[in-house]
Amino acid sequence: MPVGTRGTVKGLLPEQLSTLGAQVILANTYHLSLRPGSSLIQEHGGLHGFMNWEHPILTDSGGFQVFSLADTFKVDDEGVSFASILDGSRFRWTPEDNTRIQNELGADIIMQLDQCTPYPCEKNLVAQAVSRSASWAQRCRLAQKNNNQALFAIVQGGVFLDLRLESVDRLLETDKQTGRFEGFGIGGYSVGEPHELMLETLGEVAHALPADRPRYLMGVGNPTTLLRAIALGVDMFDCVLPTRTARMGTAFSSQGKLNLRNACFARDTSPLDPQCNCPACTSYSKAYIRHLVLSKEILASVLLSIHNLSFLFTLMKQAQDAIAMGTYARFLKQWEEKMPCY
């Protein structure tokens, strides 16, 4: 799922995203609540009407953004207080406030407000965040009255498997007693820990969650990690990586990552990836795109974003096909043998 933090995937028209194969895009509650405000977006028919996107939208609760502002936030069992990155003004969110804001934004999938811990973090502090997030999940479930929106709970627990499984148990108890969650996010990973450390616990966490609902690994976009996570039972992903690295002049490809700043591409008339049929690959050479990158032209970011997203959409389709044919283990092995640099 491409990330459109402020209601836009940087540099791309909604029509382009749809053509590339985007089925769901993300927007961020924290940023949109600060500017232009959820009530203004609601006046425009919600995010769909505001940004002219006719397909599903998922809004992250903004909890990750709040808790990354280590110098400005204060958290207690009732909610979190924080300062705006725009002007320093103070805000207070309870789980109920956060759910209401996401109702006003009008996304199809909304996420509970949770407490995300950094890496590394002491186990007692992670345990406290697990308990608080579970309590907030219940409060978000009770506050969510819009039947047109799917509410996802979020598993926390850092790199501690026992805390992860405790988090799952607490969420499933709420699911049983208070109301069914339509899906489950797996949060608190990819916050600085090595991906190998994440993968040590991810499989058990994913398989502890209900198999009849989506399991969403939040904030992961590295191609090899995506494929390994799929093998462990994950269904959905989002990340800024494909578009952020595009703005840095980097392209994904079937030959590995390409840094278009490198001089070896100065006279390279071949496409970014001979196996890709995206507009960047069918119409432009590495040499031309390198020229755009070095000249700091906006078109460089646009073309590389188009390509990187197209690359990941194609990779996910290949994964789906391999699963359907019962050959996923072989598909993953072949990828890992061919793509050690990912």
Helix (H, G, I), strand (E, B) or coil at 197: helix
Mean pLDDT for the stretch of residues 179-183: 96
Answer yes or no: 238 catalytic: yes
State the Cα–Cα distance between residues 95 and 143, nearest whole angstrom: 8
Residue 83 backbone dihedrals phi, psi, to 5 degrees: -105, 145
pLDDT at 315 over 90: yes
Mean pLDDT of all residues in the chain?
A: 96
- Residue 121: count other Cβ atoms within 10 Å of its Cβ: 18
pLDDT at 240 over 90: yes
pLDDT at 342 over 80: no
Answer yes or no: 97 catalytic: no
Helix (H, G, I), strand (E, B) or coil at 303: helix
pLDDT at 237 over 80: yes
pLDDT tens digits for 242-253?
Answer: 999 999 999 999
Do 143 and 99 contact (CB within 8 A), yes or no?
yes
Order of all β-strands in the sheet with 74-76: 74-76, 79-83, 90-93
pLDDT tens digits for 87-98?
Answer: 999 999 999 999
Q: Which listed residue (114, 175, 238, 273) is catalytic?
A: 238
Do 253 and 312 contact (CB within 8 A), yes or no?
no
Listed in order, the ranges of the chain carrying CATH 3.20.20.105 are 14-239
Q: Which listed residue (60, 114, 175, 273) is catalytic?
A: 60
pLDDT at 339 over 90: no
Query: Considering only the top CATH level, what class is 14-239?
Result: alpha beta
Percent of the chain with pLDDT over 70: 99
State the Cα–Cα distance between residues 128 and 132, nearest whole angstrom: 6
The predicted structure's pLDDT at residue 45 = 95
The predicted structure's pLDDT at residue 70 = 74
Q: Which residues of 30-42 are buried (b: 16+ CB within 10 A; e: fewer)?
A: bbbbbeeebeebb
The predicted structure's pLDDT at residue 72 = 84
Nearest CA-CA partner of 178 in 217, 216, 151:
151
Helix (H, G, I), strand (E, B) or coil at 91: strand
The predicted structure's pLDDT at residue 84 = 94
